Amino acid sequence: MKAVLAITSLAVLATSVSAHGAVTSYAINGKTYQGSPGFQGAPSPSYTGPQWYWPDYNPTMFNDGQRNFSFARCNSGTSAKSNLVAAAGDKITAIWGQWTHNPATVAVYLYACGSDPSTSTCDVSGKGWFKIDEFISDSDSAGCDTCWAGYKIINNKLQWTSTIPANLKSGYYIIRHELIARHQANNPQFYAECANIQITGSGTAFPSSSDMVAIPGSDYATSTGPASYTGDSLMYEVNGSTRKIADYVNVGPAVWSGSGGSTPTTTTTTTTSRTTTTTRVTTTTTTTTTPGSTCAGQQTITVTGGPSTVFETLQPVTVTVTADQTTQNPTTTTTTRSSTTTTPRTTTTTTTQGPTPSGLTLSDGFESGLDSSRWSQFARDCTGSGSYALSSSGAHSGSRAVKVTGGGGYCNHIFFATYLCLPGTKQIPTSGDLYVRFWAKFANSLTGSHVSFLTMEDSTTGKTVRMGGQNSILMWNRELDDATLPDLSPQGVAQSQGVTPGQWTCIEYHVGSDRLETWVNDKVVPGLTTTSGSGVTGQWTKGTQNFKITSVNFGWESYGGDLNNVDYDDIAIGSSRIGCGATVPTDPTTTSGNSGPTTTTTTTTQAPENCSAKYQQCGGQG
């Protein structure tokens, strides 16, 4: 069945969040209802709100072997202890925590319960779901990634507002919000959360049986695929297509018109063409730096159009560095440079293998510890159980490494980060090419879930570029548009590789003005290199590649429930190829290489520079 679109208003405001997602709260008539706490093994006994339990941000997919496809109904939830309350004709706004992927479609369903679901069980496994809202795109243009519902939700404060049909019969219902992400060829991702809702009013209309489906079911989709559709009509073609977006379809029935088993006093009109409120977003970025003050700019986002005009000033995380102390605040960004005059530092470096490459701006084997002039804690938006510490157990070289203990769930993320400007040193090249080489040892293999173990802040977009994994392979992910490298198609996945648990792995990458290249154990990985061509780079090369990198962050961030311990050692950053055999000094020094595997001792006296004084602005690499 071709999709039928209902006019839907968007609450708009850009934000900065990270991957996969779930509905975490609802807003009706100015009241906010907090959603169920996620990432728990079972429903929380202390939660008394209206949303059904959900376990994590992971999607449900056809035949993925990780979860039963019945999760596509309500993400495994079955009940809640209270109800949302809305009158027929009211608007309800779902608010997601973190993003889901684009391209994606949105749909909203209701299921009638015979009694109050907060005090008795409402079985929603039967054919009783009817659709009250749906949106695919506001354009039929082929290749319009910004036209999809998923893009609008990601870039508009993760909110979607729908209207309860004005003539719907009062009673108790379950409301279900569904996103279907279509970025992964031949395997769409279903994200769905449910909540109890009591609908009041004098309406008498109720849908007929022909308006209803079971989820999963033959009129919606089963574990082997969508009902009555050819496979590619549901999937987004990641390598581009000449087909119009209108050729893509959504699962389930058409949006219920508002008339049905009982005759309503008035009828809600259903829009059968792609009609929506058009919103224009203008972004202005101003970067100001004064000596000894900040490395951060102010991003102003003005949104016009639609039902209102919104203005907000956005800034990322606060990282204030004073000696060994780091403080963070999720709403502002100010990095304090602690001094402009520094006593020269003397360091002694002993190397026992091949030559040190020239052009290094940072090299650290952690033998002298975690130096706060080079490394700061970083955890955007929220903090949880993630941690890192110096480890003396099983370093790659020498006797010390950094062990990251990464928790499951986004807020249990943690990174140790180095910035373009830090007191005393220039950690990241300020122009030209950026090369980063590090050794990592993973306790566990990568799985089908999306994770990141390295992120980079891009000052051009205010978003991150992330290295991690999904589909059990190494993968790059661009936060701005959620593009992946490689494409998560069978051809793309085959061009990357996983990691071997318990073994040190050498990973190096190059960020250039027009390319991204990656080597593992000194061998190029085609799936992680933007010059590999069709079937691998289709998503990545459609968006920006000219990044201005202002930080490199090592750690762990899980968008589902995956936990991992990752050891990091022998990190080097420079402006030319480094390689896995290159020596990494224990401190960042300016040394010239030697020409063989002999032992040399180099003593360097270095007066640290003031980064802000040297550069007009901390604009990053590029």
Polymer length in residues for the chain: 622
What average pLDDT does the segment 223-248 reach? 47
| pLDDT for the residue numbered 359 | 72
Beta strand 130-135 pairing with 463-470: unpaired
Alpha-carbon span 519 to 434, nearest angstrom = 14
What string of DSSP letters covers 164-218? Answer: --TTBPPEEEEEEEEEEE--STT--EEEEEEEEEEEESS--B---GGG-B-SSBT
C-alpha to C-alpha distance for 532 and 518, rounded to whole angstroms: 11
At 609 the pLDDT is: 33
Is the per-residue pLDDT at 622 higher than 60?
Answer: no
C-alpha to C-alpha distance for 312 and 319, rounded to whole angstroms: 21
Q: Please tell me the distance from the alpha carbon of residue 440 to that of residue 505, in angstroms, as a whole number.
A: 5
Note the pLDDT of residue 620.
30
Residue 133 clears pLDDT 80, i.e. is over it = yes
User: How much is the pLDDT for 224?
Assistant: 63
CA-CA-CA-CA dihedral for 110, 115, 117, 123, to nearest 10: -70
Structure confidence at residue 419 (pLDDT): 84
Contact at 8 Å (CB) between 160 and 153? yes
Q: Give me the residues paired with residue 566 across strands.
A: 404, 442
Dist. CA 281–CA 541, nearest whole Å: 23
pLDDT class for 187, splitting at 50, 70, 90?
low
Answer whether residue 40 shows pLDDT above 90. Answer: no
User: With bands split at pLDDT 50, 70 and 90, how would you rate the model's confidence at 510?
Assistant: very high
Instruction: Give the number of other Cβ atoms within 10 Å of residue 523's Cβ.
Output: 11
Instruction: Tell me the CA distances in angstroms from 493 to 102, 339, 367, 488, one per residue in order.
Output: 19, 48, 37, 6
Q: Which amino acid is at 351?
A: T
Highest mean pLDDT among 67-81, 190-204, 427-441, 529-543 belongs to: 190-204
> Distance between CA atoms of 474 and 470, rounded to whole angstroms?
7
CB distance 486 to 467 below 8 Å: no
Distance CA 140, CA 155 (A): 20
Higher-pLDDT residue of 302 and 511 is 511
Give tens-digit pLDDT for 259-270. 755 433 333 333
Beta carbons of 556 and 443 less than 8 angstroms apart: no
129 φ, ψ to 5°?
-80, 130
DSSP lists the bridge partners of residue 104 as: 181
In this prediction, residue 317 has a pLDDT band, given cuts at 50, 70 and 90, of very low
Highest mean predicted confidence (pLDDT) among 212-216, 237-241, 429-433: 212-216
Question: Residue 47: pLDDT above 70?
Answer: yes
Domains along the sequence of the chain with CATH? 23-247 (2.70.50.70), 360-574 (2.60.120.200)
pLDDT at residue 144 above 90? Answer: no
Q: Cα(first)–Cα(last) distance of the chain, in Å?
A: 48
